[in-house]
Amino acid sequence: MKSAAAARLLMTFVLLSITIVSFVLDWRSNHLLSPEWHPHAKFHDALLLFTMAGVSLTGVWLLWRKSKEPEVAFVVTTLLSLSYCVPPFYITSVVPGTSLWAGKIGGELHLFGHMFYPNLATAALAIILTLVAFWMSRRHTA
């Protein structure tokens, strides 16, 4: 039983964290509040943030409600988390003119001689934690 509760807590942490971090990082002068952004781009970013908040809260509800099939909540919340965290790894290949870097051009971060994108590091961490929570939930039901 401890494993199931720990898995629910970890998945809840992931869902709420990716939502809160997204709001904190996007509601700034280099995103939603940027005068350089087209108003419709701001609309879509805000739409994504509020949709993610609703989806995350729905996922948290699924995890903690009484259910005869708690494993369904883990499958759904795993898919929800991955659907938000995986696209940053391929979206620049699919949508021309997009960039992983939100700062000034030329101000990109470097780590060990390579470009470092904090959003990819954050997404990778969320993916790992999501998969760990899912694995923990499977161990409990197996």
Q: State residue 141's pLDDT score.
A: 59
Q: State residue 109's pLDDT score.
A: 83
Coil, strand, or helix at residue 115? strand
Report residue 52 as tokens.
């993610």
70: containing domain = 2-141
C-alpha distances out from residue 108 to 18, 91, 98, 111, Å: 22, 18, 15, 10
- The pTM assigned to this predicted structure is 0.89
Number of domains, the chain: 1
Ordered per-residue pLDDT tens for the chain, 142 residues: 578 899 999 999 999 999 999 999 999 988 899 998 899 999 999 999 999 999 999 999 999 999 999 999 999 999 999 999 999 999 999 999 888 887 777 778 888 988 888 899 999 999 999 999 999 998 865 5
